[in-house]
Amino acid sequence: MTTANQASQNGESVTVRFELNPVNTERLINLSGQFDQHLRQIEARLGVEISNRGHLFAVSGHPDLVQTTINLLQNLYVETADTLLNPHKLHMFMQAANLDQLADAGHESVKIRTRRGYIRPKGYTQARYVQNIRNHDVSFGIGPAGTGKTWLAVACAVEALEQDEVRRLVLVRPAVEAGEKLGFLPGDLSQKIDPYLRPMYDALFEMLGIEKVNRLIEHHVIEVAPLAYMRGRTLNDAFILLDEAQNTTVEQMKMFLTRLGFGSRAVITGDITQVDLPRQQASGLKQVLGILKDVPGISFTWFQGQDVVRHALVQKIVAAYEQHETARGGS
């Protein structure tokens, strides 16, 4: 069905060219998807680069992942004979093929250094997320709860601070109630907003220790604040993390992204399936994904249900909701 030859090898990266047979234009279009979206989905899942001219394909990346990708494309091409592929079917096909363990190959060396030791990403998607944060000035991490988006972003921020890559950390969340009306909250301003910011405090305490974090906050090296506090500021030499970004309005997202100053990096995390804004309010995260998708210097890492690293049932719950949403969208 295919012929393959190794065209080049450089360290751990190889390029393999092969041909899909029999030649059939309709099946090729079915495999590739509209605007090659299926090929891009496979690239994102396995961490390889796929190019083709008609039925002649080239796959580049770690040798194990390249061979896995070739096998996957060959199997999918067989499926195109009597199956109309779409992103959801492709996702389910890859999940059934148990690609996650194979996708870890070549990425075990990725680790984040903090004062309390090394933090290692769990799985390929987390490793790619960390690499994207390190290599881009603006990075988005989008996906369900429990996939480590915020935890790893805070870890990367701590690493950047301790290696003097930045001078301060600015960790931000919108103060939006999660579908509940909490009413009047007692206490001063700090006590009112702290509950919204607690997940980021918890991550900082785990990585630096409570005393160290409190000292850095006192010296304004670490700032944990609601999104509203960012208006009118320009942040230089800073690592800026916007968490729960699905709850930003369109105006707030634009405001946040334009705070970026010289020598700064920004990470934006969120789950577009859990928006807590009023129904008539558009999510800034949903809108910005379409606006910035082709802007150089910006990366997007998409997490899926299988990337959940909490209790095993959480992964099953997320997958069940994904299937429900897909079925409802197709009905």
Distance between CA 146 and CA 247 in Å, rounded?
A: 17
Looking at the chain, the whole-number percentage of residues with pLDDT higher than 70 is: 81
Q: Does residue 196 surpass a pLDDT of 80?
A: no
* Sequence letter at residue 154: V
The pTM assigned to this predicted structure is 0.64
For the stretch 141-164, pLDDT in tens is 999 888 889 999 999 999 999 999
CATH 3.30.1370.10 describes domain 4-103: yes
Span(s) in the chain for CATH 3.40.50.300: 112-330
Q: Which residues contact 263 (CB under 8 A, 6 or more apart)?
A: 166, 236, 237, 238
pLDDT at 63: 80
**Domain boundaries 112-330, corresponding CATH code:** 3.40.50.300
Distance between CA 33 and CA 82 in Å, rounded?
A: 15
Looking at the chain, the whole-number percentage of residues with pLDDT higher than 90 is: 42
For the stretch 45-85, pLDDT in tens is 777 889 999 999 999 887 878 888 998 999 999 989 988 99
Q: What is the DSSP string of 129-154?
A: HHHHHHH-SEEEEE--TTSSHHHHHH
